[in-house]
Amino acid sequence: MEGLKVSEADLLVYLHPSKSKNVSQAIYNELSSMLFKYNETFDGVLLAYSASTNDELAKILPGLHPCFGVRLKAQLLLFDPKPNMILEGKVVKLGAQSIHVVVLGFSSATIIDEDIREEFDYKVKHGKELFASSVNKRHKIEIETVVRFVVKSFDEETLHLSGSLLQPNTGNVNWLDKYAEEDLVESNTKKRRDYQTADHSKRTTDDDRFKKSKKHKSSHS
């Protein structure tokens, strides 16, 4: 899964004088108020933080409310999905027209039917709705399935994602991790074998040339 990053930040938090009794609490309150919101300065949605002050001194700002600025060193866990990134989330609702996914427990993502590749067919089996792949029978997407999808767009204000399952490396994570790898390994070994047999002669000539040049070099020296 992409879209997560940890940032080291030097912050300056301005606190109201009334907060001077308990500064660390005030700092946490200030930072907590930014949780789960997109912040342009951080370039992402703040998911978690740890902060420490390295300076006991704070700068008092002149003004009507002489707020004081406290310098912080903070580690921020940020979520910043960009188009074409690959994310994972849990399917919470599924219908013929769309799949609804929740990413990291807070951001909702919708994949509309036009963004679901042809391979998947909408079916109702035993009263349960699901998308089943016509290529691999074991590849299914149901409610509660964790899916891997590609980000189409991200609404920073509402933290809403729109995703797509068009790429072949998307779909049910369990299936992708287990079977797709096997498939991939299988096809890779197959390919390698083909490649080896087909290009054997070519490779030997290359080797020969290499040897030759080596020889050539050694003769020079």
Partner 1 sequence: MGAVGDDIGDVSDYELTHHVRQALKSVFEGDTDEYDQLIGNMHHTERLVPDEVAMLVTILRALSGAVSFIDIVHHRSLLSSICAMRFWNYGPDVMDALMELVVTLATSNGKYVDLCLDMLVSNFIPPFNFLEILKQPRGLAKKDQVLARVHAALKGIADLVPLAPSRLEQIVRERVPNVYAKEAQIVVYVENMLMLESGDMGEFVGNSMIFELMNRLIDLDVEIGWDEVLMDDPNNKGIFLMELEDLARTDETEMDMDEPQIEYTGRKVLWGNVVAQKLDTLMELAFDHLQSCFKNGRLPQVFEALLQSFQSTVLNAYKSKFAQFVMFYACSLDPEDCGTQFVSRLLEIFKSTVYPQDWRMSAVAYLASYLSRAKFLSTSYVTIILESLVDWCYKYSKNQSGEINLKNHRVFYAACQALMYVLCFRMRSILATPRLKSQLVNMPLEKIFKHALNPLEVCLPSIVEEFLRQAKAAHLFTVSYGAFLFEHLFESELSRAFGGFQRLDVFFPFDPYLLKKSDRFIRPNFIYWSMVRTTYDDDEDDDDDDDDDDVEDDEFDMNLSKMSITPKDSFMFGNLQDRKMQMPSRIRPSTSPESL
Exactly one of 8, 40, 157, 182 binds partner 1 (CB under 8 A); that residue is 157
Residues between 7 and 66 that touch partner 1 (CB under 8 A): 21, 36
What is the length of the chain? 221
Q: Give me the sign of the Cα torsion angle 143, 95, 81, 36.
A: negative
Q: Which stretch binds partner 1 (CB under 8 A): 51-59, 65-73, 106-114, 173-181?
A: 106-114
Tell me if 195 contacts partner 1 by CB under 8 A.
no
Least distance to partner 1 from the beta carbon of 139, Å? 24
Buried b (16+ CB within 10 A) or exposed e, 38-70: beeebebbbbebebebeeeebeeeeeeeebbeb
Exactly one of 105, 202, 218, 220 binds partner 1 (CB under 8 A); that residue is 105
Least distance to partner 1 from the beta carbon of 197, Å? 49
Alpha-carbon 202 to chain mean position: 42
The residues of the shown chain that bind partner 1, judged by CB under 8 A, are: 21, 36, 92-93, 95-98, 100, 102, 105-108, 110, 112-114, 155, 157-160, 162
